[in-house]
């Protein structure tokens, strides 16, 4: 703006239209005045080049229109996909998304969550690294909190959107057992079992029934470190003949390790992913995985967050459970004799 140039104000619009500044303010927000008055005020505002001051508006309303999206780890391709979809959904709802990455570090997660609240975010959407951490109760007291992937047992979240992992993990184990595998390793990105991610409990319950010698092993998302974990497992005595990976990013590491060891998928090692990332279809053979309804996830999260912000009432916990759709492809076959 050129020095000395006058920035149009509500008073200028009031003088132009013959209304009070209060009436102009209501008209610009679509409140308490007729549609004809709203149209007249907006036309005058456009003609004068009026732009609302976001700082003044935030001070007046007590809201910043900003919603934080705190991801557990953006090294996970699925979380990247969800964060991008949430960003589009929040923008469509007239909110400003700010996405940050905890890097799978609980301490960093605490720091980022508190920083977002200190910066007056109207709500925080979190894909938690540690859902049992005590700081979530404090966060829920200070802003609207929506959890994705895991419920927050110690915090009154406005909403929880979680996944039917019992169905997904059970289906994957049954599919591998039906193909004839008996040595199966489940690779999970976290070593923290939670009520909504009970992989270890599912394996303990189903393995005897299916005749599986199944184990659970934590594994990072990023390609090279995931491949290193898998190489160690495949070079051990009596290695697994199949992997069920609770992230496609981890399954990509299985493909890399198998290739580096001179083996092949699925002739030597079968692989099942969990996120149906587009890149999985480019592998040879394409990766068997599970499709989760991301559109339904985004719709539920955005609706609950915006409703909790706008209602200015204490949140009533709402829980949405999403079910996976199996996407079988060419990465599963019977083990070698």
CA nearest neighbour of 146 among 202, 76, 62, 89: 89
DSSP at 51: -
Query: Is residue 228 scored above 90 in pLDDT?
Result: yes
Cβ proximity of 144 and 302 under 8 Å: no
Which has the minimum average pLDDT: 28-37, 92-101, 258-267? 28-37
Residue 176 CA from chain centroid, whole number: 28
Which has the minimum average pLDDT: 4-8, 150-154, 164-168, 292-296? 4-8
End-to-end CA separation in angstroms for the chain: 76
Query: Is residue 4 scored above 60 in pLDDT?
Result: no
Query: Is residue 32 scored above 80 in pLDDT?
Result: no
What mean pLDDT, rounded, does the chain reach?
90
Burial 310-322 (b: 16+ CB within 10 A, else e): eeeeebeebebeb
> Residue 185 and residue 330: Cα distance in Å, rounded?
19
Cβ proximity of 252 and 229 under 8 Å: no
**50 versus 99: which is more confidently predicted?**
99
Q: Give how far Cα 234 sits from Cα of 41, 116, 254, 312, Å.
A: 71, 43, 10, 55
**46 versus 256: which is more confidently predicted?**
256
pLDDT digits (tens, 9 = 90+) for 279-314: 999 999 999 999 999 999 999 999 999 988 888 665
Q: Kindly indicate the confidence band of residue 59, based on its pLDDT and cuts at 50, 70 and 90.
A: very low
pLDDT digits (tens, 9 = 90+) for 173-218: 999 999 999 999 999 998 777 778 888 899 999 999 999 999 999 9
- Listing DSSP states for 82-105 in one string gives HHHHHHHHHHHTT-EEEEEE-TT-
**pLDDT attached to residue 101:** 97
> Residue 173 and residue 185: Cα distance in Å, rounded?
10
Residue given tokens 């001179």 in the structure block:
262
Query: Is residue 131 scored above 90 in pLDDT?
Result: yes
User: CB-based contacts of 145: which residues, under 8 Å, 6+ apart?
Assistant: 123, 124, 126, 136, 139, 152, 155, 156, 157, 158, 315
Note the pTM of the prediction, 2 decimals: 0.80
| Sequence-ordered strand ranges (E) for 62-200 | 66-71, 96-101, 123-126, 144-149, 159-163, 183-188
**pLDDT attached to residue 252:** 98
Cβ proximity of 42 and 52 under 8 Å: no
């Amino acid at each position: 703006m050129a020095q000395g140039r006058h920035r149009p104000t509500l008073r200028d619009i009031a003088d132009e239209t013959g209304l009070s500044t209060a009436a102009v303010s209501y008209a610009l927000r679509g409140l308490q005045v007729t549609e004809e008055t709203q149209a007249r005020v907006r036309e005058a505002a456009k003609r004068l080049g009026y732009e609302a001051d976001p700082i003044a508006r935030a001070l007046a309303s007590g809201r910043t229109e900003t919603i934080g999206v705190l991801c557990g780890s953006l090294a996970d391709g699925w979380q990247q996909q969800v964060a991008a979809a949430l960003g589009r959904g929040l923008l469509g709802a007239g909110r400003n998304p700010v996405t940050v990455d905890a890097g799978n570090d609980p301490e960093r997660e605490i720091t980022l969550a508190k920083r977002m609240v200190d910066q007056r975010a109207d709500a925080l959407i979190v894909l938690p690294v540690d859902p049992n951490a005590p700081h979530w109760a404090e966060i829920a007291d200070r802003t609207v909190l929506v959890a994705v992937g895991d419920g927050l047992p110690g915090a009154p979240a406005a909403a929880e959107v979680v996944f039917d992992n019992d169905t997904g993990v059970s289906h994957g184990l049954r599919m591998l057992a039906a193909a004839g595998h008996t040595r199966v390793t489940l690779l999970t990105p976290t070593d923290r079992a939670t009520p909504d991610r009970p992989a270890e409990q599912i394996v303990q319950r189903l393995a005897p029934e299916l005749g599986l010698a199944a184990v659970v092993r934590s594994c990072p998302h990023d390609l090279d470190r995931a491949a290193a974990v898998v190489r160690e497992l495949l070079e051990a005595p009596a290695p697994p003949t199949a992997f069920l990976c609770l992230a496609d990013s981890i399954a990509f590491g299985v493909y890399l390790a198998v290739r580096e060891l001179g083996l092949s998928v699925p002739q030597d090692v079968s692989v099942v992913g969990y996120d149906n990332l587009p890149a999985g279809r480019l592998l040879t053979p394409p990766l068997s995985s599970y499709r989760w309804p991301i559109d339904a996830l985004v719709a539920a999260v955005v609706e609950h967050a915006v409703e909790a912000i706008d209602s200015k009432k204490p949140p009533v916990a709402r829980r949405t459970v999403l079910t996976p759709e199996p996407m079988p492809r060419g990465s599963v076959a019977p083990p070698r004799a």
